[in-house]
């Protein structure tokens, strides 16, 4: 079972995530962090992340931008990964510099793709678009479009764009070896 600390536990999203986790047997909220203490929770609530002494596997954050600096110091010190969902971060708090071109490109892919790109209408070429000429459900078309996408991402994300085709080749051989094809 995953043990999580809910940072911003008494806010609207903190309460929603707490309710979801309460119903899921694979995750448990073991502590919360929030300045507001007017809500009763099933776990201890601390006013600041720095005074939290509960061991956890992950920190889920739906607090505010002012609490992020202490959270990141705490998570690095305790070596706990953070799911950071706080908005309104300043440019100094951002992990990568703000780039409108990259942001537009990624947002466009996310909005068109849905469900990890499975419903992207721009990729219809390799599926049903050519079924009249015998090219229906084409793996070739699908993989050519993946290569096109990787080439587009190469400029901004070279490590990911170059490793994706290599992983696919490795995965093909792994499936062949394990008779999963």
Distance of CA 75 to the CA centre of its chain: 17
pTM of the prediction?
0.61
Predicted confidence at residue 126, as pLDDT, reads 47
Residue 24 and residue 1: Cα distance in Å, rounded?
A: 10
SS3 state of residue 27: strand
- pLDDT tens-digit map of 33-62: 999 988 999 999 999 999 999 999 999 999
- Asked whether the beta carbons of 32 and 9 are under 8 A apart, the reply is yes
Residue 10 and residue 34: Cα distance in Å, rounded?
A: 6
Asked if residue 138 has pLDDT above 70, the reply is no
Q: Could you tell me what percent of the chain has a pLDDT over 70?
A: 82
Q: Which two tokens stand for residue 89?
A: 């971060």
Which DSSP category does 33 fall into? E
- pLDDT tens-digit map of 89-124: 888 888 777 888 888 887 877 777 766 566 666 655
């Amino acid at each position: 079972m995953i043990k999580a600390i809910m940072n911003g536990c008494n806010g609207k999203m903190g309460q929603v995530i707490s309710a979801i986790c309460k119903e899921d047997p694979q995750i448990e909220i073991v502590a919360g962090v929030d300045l507001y203490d007017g809500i009763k929770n099933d776990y201890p609530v601390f006013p600041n992340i720095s005074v939290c002494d509960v061991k956890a596997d992950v920190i889920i954050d739906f607090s505010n931008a002012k609490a992020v600096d202490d959270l990141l110091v705490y998570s690095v010190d305790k070596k706990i990964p953070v799911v950071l969902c706080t908005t309104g971060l300043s440019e100094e708090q951002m992990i990568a510099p703000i780039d409108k071109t990259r942001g537009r490109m990624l947002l466009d892919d996310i909005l068109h793709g849905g469900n990890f790109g499975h419903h992207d209408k721009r990729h219809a070429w390799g599926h049903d678009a050519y079924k009249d000429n015998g090219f229906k459900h084409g793996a070739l078309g699908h993989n050519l479009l993946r290569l096109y996408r990787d080439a587009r991402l190469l400029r901004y994300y070279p490590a990911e764009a170059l490793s994706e085709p290599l992983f696919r080749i490795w995965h093909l051989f792994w499936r062949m070896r394990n008779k999963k094809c």
